[in-house]
Amino acid sequence: MPMGFFRKNPIGRLVTRITHDVEALNQLYSQVIVNLVKEVLILIGIIILMLFMSVKLTLICFLVIPVIAIVTFYFKTVLRKTQRNIRTILSKLLSYLAENLSGMSVIQLFAREGKQLDRFNELNEEHYRAGMRQTVINSIFNPSIGFFGNISLALLVWYGGSSVVDETITFGTVYAFTHYIRKFFEPLRGLADRFNQIQAALASAERIFETLATKPTIFKSCLP
Protein backbone atom coordinates (compact mmCIF):
# COMPACT_ATOMS: atom_id res chain seq x y z
CA MET A 1 0.00 0.00 0.00
CA PRO A 2 1.16 3.61 -0.54
CA MET A 3 2.58 5.56 2.39
CA GLY A 4 -0.57 7.70 2.57
CA PHE A 5 -2.55 4.64 3.66
CA PHE A 6 -0.19 4.03 6.59
CA ARG A 7 -0.33 7.68 7.62
CA LYS A 8 -4.11 7.38 8.00
CA ASN A 9 -3.96 3.90 9.56
CA PRO A 10 -1.31 3.31 12.26
CA ILE A 11 0.45 -0.04 12.34
CA GLY A 12 -1.15 -0.97 15.66
CA ARG A 13 -4.63 -0.47 14.23
CA LEU A 14 -3.84 -2.62 11.20
CA VAL A 15 -2.41 -5.38 13.43
CA THR A 16 -5.61 -5.30 15.49
CA ARG A 17 -7.72 -5.63 12.33
CA ILE A 18 -5.68 -8.55 11.00
CA THR A 19 -5.47 -10.49 14.26
CA HIS A 20 -8.37 -9.74 16.62
CA ASP A 21 -11.04 -8.48 14.22
CA VAL A 22 -10.52 -11.08 11.51
CA GLU A 23 -10.38 -13.84 14.15
CA ALA A 24 -13.65 -12.59 15.66
CA LEU A 25 -15.32 -12.86 12.24
CA ASN A 26 -13.79 -16.30 11.74
CA GLN A 27 -15.29 -17.52 15.04
CA LEU A 28 -18.65 -16.04 14.04
CA TYR A 29 -18.81 -18.07 10.83
CA SER A 30 -17.11 -21.25 12.02
CA GLN A 31 -18.69 -21.61 15.47
CA VAL A 32 -21.51 -19.23 16.27
CA ILE A 33 -23.61 -19.40 13.10
CA VAL A 34 -23.64 -23.23 12.99
CA ASN A 35 -24.82 -23.47 16.59
CA LEU A 36 -27.19 -20.56 16.07
CA VAL A 37 -29.03 -22.36 13.25
CA LYS A 38 -29.24 -25.56 15.31
CA GLU A 39 -30.64 -23.78 18.36
CA VAL A 40 -33.16 -21.77 16.34
CA LEU A 41 -34.47 -24.98 14.75
CA ILE A 42 -34.80 -26.55 18.21
CA LEU A 43 -36.76 -23.51 19.42
CA ILE A 44 -39.12 -23.66 16.44
CA GLY A 45 -39.75 -27.37 16.99
CA ILE A 46 -40.50 -26.87 20.70
CA ILE A 47 -42.88 -23.98 19.96
CA ILE A 48 -44.80 -26.09 17.41
CA LEU A 49 -45.16 -28.98 19.88
CA MET A 50 -46.31 -26.67 22.68
CA LEU A 51 -48.89 -24.96 20.46
CA PHE A 52 -50.15 -28.34 19.32
CA MET A 53 -50.66 -29.52 22.92
CA SER A 54 -52.18 -26.35 24.42
CA VAL A 55 -52.35 -22.82 23.04
CA LYS A 56 -53.32 -21.30 26.40
CA LEU A 57 -50.42 -22.85 28.29
CA THR A 58 -48.05 -21.82 25.50
CA LEU A 59 -49.18 -18.19 25.72
CA ILE A 60 -48.86 -18.24 29.52
CA CYS A 61 -45.34 -19.63 29.28
CA PHE A 62 -44.34 -17.05 26.68
CA LEU A 63 -45.51 -14.01 28.65
CA VAL A 64 -41.87 -13.33 29.54
CA ILE A 65 -40.70 -13.37 25.91
CA PRO A 66 -41.41 -9.62 25.30
CA VAL A 67 -39.44 -8.79 28.45
CA ILE A 68 -36.56 -10.98 27.24
CA ALA A 69 -36.65 -9.19 23.87
CA ILE A 70 -36.46 -5.77 25.56
CA VAL A 71 -33.60 -6.85 27.84
CA THR A 72 -31.73 -8.40 24.89
CA PHE A 73 -32.12 -5.24 22.80
CA TYR A 74 -30.78 -3.12 25.67
CA PHE A 75 -27.78 -5.35 26.32
CA LYS A 76 -27.13 -5.58 22.58
CA THR A 77 -26.66 -1.80 22.45
CA VAL A 78 -24.50 -1.76 25.58
CA LEU A 79 -22.36 -4.72 24.49
CA ARG A 80 -21.82 -3.31 20.99
CA LYS A 81 -20.67 -0.01 22.48
CA THR A 82 -18.38 -1.86 24.90
CA GLN A 83 -16.88 -3.96 22.11
CA ARG A 84 -16.22 -0.86 20.02
CA ASN A 85 -14.53 0.77 22.99
CA ILE A 86 -12.33 -2.30 23.60
CA ARG A 87 -11.29 -2.44 19.95
CA THR A 88 -10.47 1.29 19.93
CA ILE A 89 -8.40 1.09 23.10
CA LEU A 90 -6.59 -2.04 21.89
CA SER A 91 -5.72 -0.26 18.64
CA LYS A 92 -4.28 2.66 20.59
CA LEU A 93 -2.35 0.29 22.84
CA LEU A 94 -0.80 -1.68 19.98
CA SER A 95 -0.07 1.50 18.00
CA TYR A 96 1.67 3.03 21.00
CA LEU A 97 3.65 -0.16 21.61
CA ALA A 98 4.73 -0.42 17.96
CA GLU A 99 5.79 3.23 17.82
CA ASN A 100 7.82 2.92 21.02
CA LEU A 101 9.55 -0.27 19.94
CA SER A 102 10.49 1.16 16.55
CA GLY A 103 11.60 4.47 18.09
CA MET A 104 13.35 3.04 21.15
CA SER A 105 16.66 4.69 20.32
CA VAL A 106 14.99 8.13 20.18
CA ILE A 107 13.20 7.50 23.50
CA GLN A 108 16.48 6.51 25.15
CA LEU A 109 18.25 9.50 23.59
CA PHE A 110 15.84 11.91 25.30
CA ALA A 111 15.59 9.77 28.49
CA ARG A 112 11.81 9.41 28.27
CA GLU A 113 11.59 5.75 29.26
CA GLY A 114 9.72 6.51 32.49
CA LYS A 115 7.16 8.82 30.88
CA GLN A 116 6.55 6.43 28.00
CA LEU A 117 6.09 3.57 30.47
CA ASP A 118 3.60 5.61 32.47
CA ARG A 119 1.59 6.32 29.32
CA PHE A 120 1.68 2.64 28.38
CA ASN A 121 0.42 1.70 31.86
CA GLU A 122 -2.44 4.20 31.48
CA LEU A 123 -3.51 2.65 28.17
CA ASN A 124 -3.13 -0.85 29.60
CA GLU A 125 -5.26 0.07 32.62
CA GLU A 126 -7.90 1.58 30.32
CA HIS A 127 -7.99 -1.64 28.30
CA TYR A 128 -8.30 -3.68 31.51
CA ARG A 129 -11.22 -1.59 32.76
CA ALA A 130 -13.00 -1.89 29.40
CA GLY A 131 -12.58 -5.68 29.52
CA MET A 132 -13.90 -5.81 33.09
CA ARG A 133 -16.93 -3.76 32.05
CA GLN A 134 -17.65 -6.32 29.33
CA THR A 135 -17.31 -9.15 31.86
CA VAL A 136 -19.73 -7.47 34.28
CA ILE A 137 -22.30 -6.94 31.52
CA ASN A 138 -22.07 -10.60 30.48
CA SER A 139 -22.37 -11.74 34.11
CA ILE A 140 -25.65 -9.81 34.34
CA PHE A 141 -27.14 -10.68 30.95
CA ASN A 142 -26.46 -14.42 30.83
CA PRO A 143 -28.06 -15.32 34.21
CA SER A 144 -31.06 -13.09 33.43
CA ILE A 145 -32.15 -15.56 30.73
CA GLY A 146 -32.25 -18.36 33.29
CA PHE A 147 -34.11 -16.07 35.70
CA PHE A 148 -36.84 -15.41 33.13
CA GLY A 149 -36.98 -19.13 32.44
CA ASN A 150 -37.74 -19.76 36.10
CA ILE A 151 -40.45 -17.09 36.01
CA SER A 152 -42.01 -18.80 32.99
CA LEU A 153 -41.90 -22.14 34.79
CA ALA A 154 -43.55 -20.57 37.85
CA LEU A 155 -46.35 -19.14 35.69
CA LEU A 156 -46.84 -22.57 34.14
CA VAL A 157 -47.11 -24.28 37.54
CA TRP A 158 -49.50 -21.62 38.83
CA TYR A 159 -51.85 -21.59 35.84
CA GLY A 160 -51.43 -25.27 34.95
CA GLY A 161 -51.98 -26.40 38.55
CA SER A 162 -55.24 -24.48 38.84
CA SER A 163 -56.33 -25.83 35.46
CA VAL A 164 -55.62 -29.40 36.57
CA VAL A 165 -57.74 -28.84 39.68
CA ASP A 166 -60.55 -27.48 37.48
CA GLU A 167 -60.03 -30.48 35.16
CA THR A 168 -59.67 -28.25 32.09
CA ILE A 169 -56.14 -29.49 31.42
CA THR A 170 -54.67 -32.88 32.21
CA PHE A 171 -51.76 -33.37 34.57
CA GLY A 172 -49.78 -35.06 31.80
CA THR A 173 -49.99 -31.93 29.63
CA VAL A 174 -48.71 -29.70 32.43
CA TYR A 175 -45.90 -32.14 33.18
CA ALA A 176 -44.92 -32.24 29.50
CA PHE A 177 -44.88 -28.43 29.40
CA THR A 178 -42.49 -28.26 32.35
CA HIS A 179 -40.11 -30.42 30.32
CA TYR A 180 -40.56 -28.34 27.17
CA ILE A 181 -40.03 -25.06 29.04
CA ARG A 182 -36.67 -26.28 30.32
CA LYS A 183 -35.74 -27.44 26.84
CA PHE A 184 -36.92 -24.11 25.38
CA PHE A 185 -34.69 -21.97 27.60
CA GLU A 186 -31.61 -24.14 27.16
CA PRO A 187 -31.02 -22.87 23.58
CA LEU A 188 -31.80 -19.34 24.77
CA ARG A 189 -29.09 -19.63 27.40
CA GLY A 190 -26.78 -20.95 24.70
CA LEU A 191 -27.59 -17.95 22.53
CA ALA A 192 -26.93 -15.66 25.49
CA ASP A 193 -23.51 -17.27 25.98
CA ARG A 194 -22.67 -16.57 22.31
CA PHE A 195 -24.24 -13.13 22.31
CA ASN A 196 -20.97 -11.50 23.28
CA GLN A 197 -19.17 -13.28 20.41
CA ILE A 198 -21.81 -12.05 17.97
CA GLN A 199 -21.51 -8.45 19.15
CA ALA A 200 -17.70 -8.67 19.07
CA ALA A 201 -17.82 -9.95 15.49
CA LEU A 202 -20.23 -7.22 14.42
CA ALA A 203 -18.06 -4.55 16.04
CA SER A 204 -15.00 -6.04 14.33
CA ALA A 205 -16.79 -6.03 10.98
CA GLU A 206 -17.64 -2.36 11.40
CA ARG A 207 -14.02 -1.48 12.11
CA ILE A 208 -12.70 -3.58 9.23
CA PHE A 209 -15.01 -1.86 6.75
CA GLU A 210 -14.10 1.47 8.31
CA THR A 211 -10.45 0.76 7.53
CA LEU A 212 -11.24 -0.44 4.02
CA ALA A 213 -13.30 2.67 3.39
CA THR A 214 -10.19 4.81 3.80
CA LYS A 215 -8.63 3.04 0.82
CA PRO A 216 -11.18 1.38 -1.49
CA THR A 217 -8.41 0.16 -3.83
CA ILE A 218 -7.41 -2.35 -1.16
CA PHE A 219 -10.13 -4.59 -2.64
CA LYS A 220 -8.32 -4.59 -5.97
CA SER A 221 -5.06 -5.61 -4.30
CA CYS A 222 -6.80 -8.67 -2.84
CA LEU A 223 -7.96 -9.88 -6.25
CA PRO A 224 -5.86 -12.38 -8.21
Q: What is the 3-state secondary structure (H, E, C) of the chain?
A: CCHHHHHHCCHHHHHHHHHHHHHHHHHHHHHHHHHHHHHHHHHHHHHHHHHHHCHHHHHHHHHHHHHHHHHHHHHHHHHHHHHHHHHHHHHHHHHHHHHHHHCHHHHHHCCCHHHHHHHHHHHHHHHHHHHHHHHHHHHHHHHHHHHHHHHHHHHHHHHHHHHHHCCCCCHHHHHHHHHHHHHHHHHHHHHHHHHHHHHHHHHHHHHHHHHHHCCCCHHHHHCC
Residues of the chain with pLDDT under 50: 216, 218-224
Predicted pLDDT of residue 207: 63
Predicted pLDDT of residue 215: 52
pTM for the structure as a whole: 0.67
Predicted pLDDT of residue 60: 86
Predicted pLDDT of residue 56: 85
Predicted pLDDT of residue 164: 81
